[in-house]
Each structure stands twice: as C-alpha cells, then as structure tokens.
A = this chain, B = another copy of it.
C-alpha cells in the first residue's frame, strides 16, 4: 500500500499478522474469532484507518446493506419528515439509505431506480402508485422488493404503506360542506403520474355529488410545489363571477400557503372573505396566518413502517402486508362557516 492510497484487507492482515479471512471475520462475525486476535486486528484497522471497500464486499457477500428511496423533490417539506424517519429506522439496522429525486418525472424515476439497483439497493421506497408499465415490469422482472408510500390501495400486487387520499379528501370536503360552503374550487398540481392528487380530487368530487346545488371547479397549477403558481391560480379563480367559490381547497399545504399569501396581497381576508384548506399538515400549516385547516398525515409513522417492512422482507419474511394509516382533518382558522 503506497502512502495515501486506500488500505486493503491484505494491509490489515499483514500488519496484524493474520490472514485476510481472519480480518474479514473480525469485521463481520467477531464472535468466531478469539479475543486476542480480534484485538490485534482492531488495532491494525485503527492504525491504518481501514474502511472495507464496498465494491468488493458487495461482490463477495452479495449484500449491500443499502436501501433506496426516490422521492419527487426535497425542496419542500412534504416528504422530508417521512424520509427522515425512514432513514432513522434503517440506520438502526446498519442499513444505508440512498436518496434520489425524480422531480415528479416518471422517466427520471425509472432511471434512478436502475441506478439505485446497480448501486446495490436491496429494496426501494417509492412514492405513489402511478408510473409507467415498464417501471413495474422492471421491478417485477428483477424481483425487487419495494414499498409504495403516500398512498394506499387494496390490490395485492404491491405493498403499500400509506393512507387513503380519496377518503381523506372526502372527509375534508364533507367538513367544508357541513360549514355551509356550496361553491368550491380546488387548486391542484398536475395529475399526470400523480395518483395522490388524482385521488384527492376524486374524493372531493365524491363528497360534493351527494349534496345538491353544489359546484366544483378544479384549477391546475403547472407544478406541485410552487406557492407562487398557486397564488396565480387563486387570482384567476377570484375573477369568476358565476358560482364564485367561497372556499379554495388546495391539494397540498404549500399551494394553500401560496393561496393565502395571494389573498392577503389582494387585500382579502382569510377566512372572512374566503376560506382555504390544505393537505399534509406540514410545519408551515401551523405557522402561516391564519393557521391552515388541513389533513394531518402521519409522516413519521409512515416512514418508520415502510422501513420496518423492507427490513422484514430483507430478513426473509416475504409475506409482508400493506399498512393503511389513518389521517384526520385538523381544523384551524383558515376555514370557517359560510356566512
């Protein structure tokens, strides 16, 4: 080993005066090695600052101790807390998490899936169920353990750890209707390959169809995470003169906050002049003024459960079942009775 180059098992073995097999055993199955030699090896490892080469290890042992997650974006907090919890649980089992972002683009998601698998990911966390066939075919053909989070379905083809977006939004809409609102607008991100948004919109529609003399407009933003775009959508909605909505339901909290800001900019009072709701219950929902009525999603529990599930599969328990988590409507000041 030249100075500065990475030390290898052979270097450690030589320094400790043992064979490479013994070094390897010290690192992986220390109880199969005598106290004495283990000490010697530990000293040598310390001395050299040795870290096993992942490539060699993965190749030889066929275990990467690595999981992958592909989320749409890190820029807003929607996925952060869940992923953090996911990572914590994995870390407790000595598993490294590789994270990539797809930017809501299924093509990029597919590429990243392939990259992560190449990197040795033993399982994947994916967001939502909507993706091209070829992605699923790849997962199936390669028999890759994967958990779909942030949504839940009853089909047995995949494992879900999520919640019922349809039901949750229906509940929220029922609450809105109970407060006397009859003309509702939704500001939503694009639904292409986003089943969560799709479900939320359908949920709202389902609630409304049960009540007479109601109207629902859906206004789409170009993206899912831009408060400013939501503001523009809000502005356009306010220009309607027929069935002008008295409440704006946004498909997530970020959009809702954008709507609130725009309302303020237009000198409208929330909730006196217009009610606004969100979805997710991320941190800003509590912070914005007025505080946001929204749907609380148990992000941390979702992340933890997803991690546990993948760990179980990794441990050979292949019969894992989907987990459906509950959500609940959180009433705050951005929504009030129609006057």
Chain A: residues with CB nearer than 8 A to chain B?
Answer: 4, 6, 49, 51-59, 64, 66, 73-77, 80-81, 83-84, 87, 96-101, 114-120, 137-138, 141-143, 227, 257, 261, 283-284, 286-289
A267 CB → nearest B CB, Å = 14
Cβ–Cβ contact B80 & A84, under 8 A? no
Q: Which of A118, A142, A261 has the most CB atoms of chain B within a 10 A radius of its CB? A: A118
Cβ–Cβ contact B51 & A59, under 8 A? no
Given the known interface contacts A54-B118, A58-B54, A99-B99, the answer about A76 and B283 at a Cβ–Cβ threshold of 8 Å is yes
Cβ–Cβ contact B51 & A55, under 8 A? no
Closest 3 pairs between A and B when the two form their complex, measured CB to CB: A55-B58, A289-B289, A55-B59
Contacts of A87 in B (CB 8 A): 74, 100-101
Cβ–Cβ contact A257 & B287, under 8 A? yes
Given the known interface contacts A80-B75, A84-B101, A97-B100, the answer about A54 and B6 at a Cβ–Cβ threshold of 8 Å is no
A333 to B56, CA, bound (A): 57
Contacts of A83 in B (CB 8 A): 74
Contacts of A257 in B (CB 8 A): 287
Cβ–Cβ contact B66 & A75, under 8 A? no
A76 to B282, CA, bound (A): 10
Contacts of A4 in B (CB 8 A): 141-143
Cβ–Cβ contact A59 & B49, under 8 A? no
A300 to B230, CA, bound (A): 22
